[in-house]
Amino acid sequence: MPLEFKPLTDPEREFVMLNLQEDTAKLALKLHRKKDFDGQKLISQIAARQKAKGKLPDWYANPELFFPPPVSVEQASSQATAIYKASLANPGRQLVDLTLGMGVDTFYLSKKFQYVSGYEQNPELALITAYNLRVLGADHISVISEKGESAVEENADCVFVDPSRRDERKRKTVAFEDSSPNMLEILPAWVRRSPQIIVKASPIIDIDLAVKQLKYVSEVHVVGYQKECKEVVFVLNTAKPAERPVIHAVVLDSDGSVQKQLSFTRMQETAIAPGYGDPSGYLYEPHPALMKAGGFRVMGRQFDMTEIAPNSHLYSSPVIRTDFPGRLFAIKGVVNASGFSWEKWLTEPKANLTLRNFPAEPHDLRKKWRLKEGGHDYLFATTLSSGRKVVIITERV
């Protein structure tokens, strides 16, 4: 028997939009007494929209959309990162998405193509996604309720893949060979059929190993949004792969535009001689996306800063650099960690504590120094290039 999909009725839609700010547990009790509403269905819609509020603001605000279960919203790309990935695709006639899901990436990518085929193996999710894409006006996207491995297109101008990073027991995975579809198995076939392949991967993937495995990588995009590294995107040029892929570490605005960026190759990174110095003036902590990308020497040279030690990945400069892609702090003092006492530097026993290349645990140091979390001051316990263990007392700029 084929699956049926029923969008929300007008009264149901009105109820959902009026109660988006409400606690779903309390709403469930209220709906339990309403016989004319499917309470479970409405609670699921409200919970999914609540998860989408900051992640997918345009989708959240559209009352016509029917949201899949909240877990699908959690696994979907954010609107900002989807818009950015769409900017990486070369325009063409045909796009094939082998891992459609909720369709967020596909929707924004589809703006560059005449025809789009999206494969989704979950029949229920495929129905919901097809409905939503029609509501959004993306009628040129065909949703196929099958595994991406079964894609029948002979050729495509671009192929997009976001492998599922869950094993059979729903545990998180990272490597391509442990994901579904297995990129290493399907890649040879698509290399012959598409000039461009875009692969979204986990933010903790080994970038250099992935480049070797995928073989045709021309660009790597390490994508940061808000305070996190969200994903690593590999752009493959199957006709002419780059000998030395360019790595772009980017921090995005909410509209998907690049706010801060660092671009380099591994050769450029290794060509720069390391240089270290003690902290003074201002301290800089790179955004997690730049930390993941790993262009630490390039970063220091581009922003005219000194790294304070090989493994701390903290920088310093006597003059403030407001264009730095990360957090900025004014240094109030640098003291030996062994003799640190908050009374000499803080007005209260409260500070934000970060450890970098320091042999201890935050909980233990807080207990030793009798410090609570929070406040206006920021402490960095770290090791200088000389081996000296210090605490750098700072405040946010």
Provide the token pair at 299: 């970063």
Which pLDDT score is estimated for 171?
66
- Residue pair 199/223 in contact (Cβ under 8 Å)? The answer is no
CATH (domain of 227) = 3.40.50.150
**pLDDT tens digits, the chain, 397 residues: what are they?**
356 778 999 999 999 999 999 998 888 877 776 666 778 889 999 999 999 999 999 999 999 999 998 888 988 999 999 999 999 999 999 999 999 999 999 999 999 999 999 999 999 999 999 999 999 999 999 999 999 988 888 899 999 999 987 655 566 777 888 888 899 999 999 999 999 999 999 999 999 999 999 999 999 999 999 999 999 999 999 988 888 999 999 999 999 999 999 999 999 999 999 889 999 999 999 999 999 999 999 999 999 999 999 999 999 999 999 999 999 999 999 999 998 999 999 999 999 999 999 999 999 999 999 999 999 999 999 999 999 999 999 999 9
**What's the pLDDT tens digit per position in 254-297?**
999 999 999 999 999 999 998 899 999 999 999 999 999 999 99
Judge if 126 and 260 occupy the same domain.
yes
Asked whether residue 64 is domain-assigned, the answer is no
Judge if 198 and 309 occupy the same domain.
no
Dihedral (Cα; 138, 140, 141, 144), 10-degree rounding: 140
- Residue pair 276/309 in contact (Cβ under 8 Å)? The answer is yes
Structural domain span for residue 281: 274-396
Separation in Å, CA 206 to CA 103, 197, 216, 259, 357: 26, 19, 16, 25, 21
Judge if 310 and 203 occupy the same domain.
no
Judge if 222 and 306 occupy the same domain.
no
Which pLDDT score is estimated for 168?
59
Query: Which amino acid belongs to residue 205?
Result: I
Q: How far apart (Å, rounded) are the C-alpha atoms in residues 396 and 376?
A: 7
**What's the pLDDT tens digit per position in 141-170?**
999 999 998 888 889 999 999 998 765 556
Nearest to 250 by CA among 236, 237, 261, 239: 261
Judge if 299 and 196 occupy the same domain.
no
Asked whether residue 66 is domain-assigned, the answer is no
Q: How far apart (Å, rounded) are the C-alpha atoms in residues 80 and 289?
A: 15
pTM, two decimals, is 0.93
Judge if 248 and 298 occupy the same domain.
no
Asked whether residue 88 is domain-assigned, the answer is yes
Q: How many CB atoms lie within 10 A of CB 233?
A: 22
Asked whether residue 63 is domain-assigned, the answer is no
Asked whether residue 336 is domain-assigned, the answer is yes
Judge if 123 and 195 occupy the same domain.
yes
Asked whether residue 148 is domain-assigned, the answer is yes
Q: How many CB atoms lie within 10 A of CB 374?
A: 10
Judge if 253 and 110 occupy the same domain.
yes
Is omega for the bond preceding 241 within 30 degrees of 0, making it cis? no
Separation in Å, CA 86 to CA 49, 102, 140, 225, 343: 23, 16, 16, 16, 52
Which pLDDT score is estimated for 3?
66
Provide the token pair at 103: 């369709």
Judge if 202 and 279 occupy the same domain.
no
Strand order in the sheet with 258-264: 141-144, 113-119, 92-97, 158-161, 196-201, 228-237, 217-225, 246-252, 258-264
**What is residue 167's three-state secondary structure?**
coil
Q: What are residue 289's phi and psi, to 5 degrees?
A: -65, -40
Judge if 172 and 249 occupy the same domain.
yes
Q: Based on the number of CB atoms within 10 Å of its own CB, is 176 exposed (0-12), middle (13-18) or buried (19 or more)? A: buried
Cross-strand pairs, 336: 390
Phi/psi-derived region of residue 103, left when phi > 0, alpha when psi is between -120 and 50, beta in every other case:
left
Asked whether residue 58 is domain-assigned, the answer is no
Provide the token pair at 105: 């990436």
Say how many residues make up the chain. Answer: 397
